[in-house]
A and B are shown apart, each in its own frame.
Chain A
Amino acid sequence: MTIRQMSELVEKGFQRSVELISLAAHNSFRFNNRNTIQMITVEDEDLEQIAEYCFSLGDMSPLAARDGRNLVQMMKEPCSLLVFGDKRKSDFNYNCGACGYRTCAEMNKAEEVESLTANGPSCVFKNINLGIAANAAASAAHALGLYCRVFSTLAFGAKALEVIEGVDICISVCVSAAKKNPYFDRHEYWTQEHWDETFAKEFPPYNRGFIGAVE
């Protein structure tokens, strides 16, 4: 066939881009050459599961709820979530003190505190290596012309649901080939009525007169 349609081009190009982005993240800078990060991409049903989980957090985490809600909409167009994770213990032996322990050995021996979002205490340099991978992915997505945003909420969701396994800390980068940038300024959600109601509830002092003034 000599003619290929846009939907096919975008879909195939998107899949290849995700692979290239993963490659850029994989080959980015690491402190001490410790390239121990793990990486997966999540799409379709698994992504929907994360979106629903985040949305269900509701008032417990309004930020996660917002991201979950948006993700449900975003998934209607080509969309993929790259989740990066790593173990929390230090293998650097920098003994820098940033984690709150004087030496790496002390931190590694400390009791593990588990939670849905992350297991701590974690080595700050492990987190930095992870963040650099995430930023390299975002930068590659930008270079390829994809829409992109870094989400910690969705990564926490992926960890809580054990979509990514065997990691203590994680971060995610969501990329999309939607018709317009789906990550910022999602005004269609905010109908005037919904806005007025939420705003009045969340920020009552904004429209309130002087305290003591006759209303």
Chain B
Amino acid sequence: MERSILQYETDRQEAVRVAARLILASGTTTPRVGGVGECTIHIIDDPCDIEDVCQKMEEMAGIKKSWSFFNRDAAMLRDADALLIATSLRCLNDPADINCNMCGKLVCEYLKEEEKLPRDPDVAYTGPLCTFRATNIAYAVDGMMNQARHLGIDTGTYWSMGAAAMRMGIIPRDTGFAMGMAISITEKSPFRDIPKNYADINQRSMTDRMINRLWPQFRSIYS
């Protein structure tokens, strides 16, 4: 490949690293309800680590029918340049003590007494969570989306990524709710124009079936 194109590729990856951190900054400074130490944001920009998350998502997709779209999400995330995962640290064990009844338990004392769902394979988040606290994630995620938009970077937002990261244990232990945003600095957003059966038919499988598989025979015949 031409040297200048290789240089472009290196610079593009550097742009991903810098942009991910600027997006983290914006997500961190968004509004928070009920205090500090609520949300953390974690950057995953190593391709091998991204692949680990994708595989976990595919594993979860098989658990129940309503999660089958995790396969499609994983196929998109393989094309992402970096993942940002926002967590809510207090919604699991530390209700906001404002008795808002969003969780339906009337007051926070009742929510504290409520038994949580067990950590079964078909439970993504062990609710009931403090909904008031968990809403902080919305602010963090939208803050990140907003910054990415200002930087002109394509994004996709997936809860499947957050659920998989929680299950992998790569985000803080106290996390009750997590949600992920993927960014891509490419000419074509990998998160838009998604055909049906994207998990099976995507650029990767297309290249493999139509080019890689036929190329050795083509060489043999036309040599």
The residues of A with any CB-CB pair to B shorter than 8 Å are 28-29, 31, 61, 63, 93-102, 110, 112-115, 117-122, 124-125, 127-132, 134-136, 138-139, 149-150, 152, 156, 169, 171
Contact = CB atoms under 8 A, between A and B. Distances in A.
A199 to B, nearest CB: 20
Contact of B100 (A95, A97, A114, A152): A152
A98 B125 contact: yes
Interface string B133-154: 0111111011101100000000
A97 B139 contact: no
18 contacts: A94-B66, A94-B124, A95-B67, A96-B159, A96-B163, A97-B122, A98-B124, A100-B114, A117-B100, A117-B101, A118-B102, A120-B102, A120-B106, A122-B131, A127-B131, A131-B136, A134-B138, A134-B139
A112 B128 CA distance: 15
Nearest to A148: B31
Interface string B144-188: 011000000000010100010000000000001101000000000
A93 B131 CA distance: 18
Which one of A97, A101, A114, A150 has the highest number of Cβ atoms from chain B below 10 Å of its Cβ?
A97
A99 B138 CA distance: 16
Contacts of B106: 113, 115, 120
Contact of B179 (A93, A100, A128, A156): A128
Contacts of A131: 135-139, 142
Nearest to A97: B123
B123 A102 contact: yes
A101 B127 contact: yes
